[in-house]
Amino acid sequence: MTPATLEAAWGLGGALALAGQVDVLVVVDVLSYGTAVEIALSRGAVVIPADSGTSDLPGFASKKGALLASKRGAGSGYSLSPASLGSIPAGTLLVLPSPNGGAVSAALADREKPVLLGALRNATAIANAGLAFGQRIGLVPCGERNRDGSWRAAEEDLIGLGAIVSAMGARYATSSPLIAQALAAFASSRKDLELALASTPSGIELIERGFPDDVHCAAQSDISSTAPILRDGFYYPLMP
Q: What one-letter code names the amino acid at 182?
A: A
Tell me the pLDDT tens digit for each residue of 167-222.
999 999 999 999 999 999 999 999 999 999 999 999 999 999 999 999 999 999 99
pLDDT digits (tens, 9 = 90+) for 93-133: 999 999 999 999 999 999 889 999 999 999 999 999 999 99
Q: How many whole angstroms separate alpha carbon 133 and alpha carbon 51?
A: 26
Q: For 139-160, write each residue's pLDDT tens digit.
A: 999 999 998 989 999 999 999 9
Q: Amino acid identity of 152?
A: R
Highest CATH level, class, for 4-235 = alpha beta
Residue of 202, 198, 173, 223 whose CA lies nearest to 29: 202
pLDDT of residue 47 exceeding 90, the answer is yes
pTM of the complete model: 0.97
Cα gap 151→216, rounded to integer Å: 24
* Domain range summary for the chain, segments of one domain joined by +: 4-235
Phi, psi of 163 (to 5 degrees): -65, -40
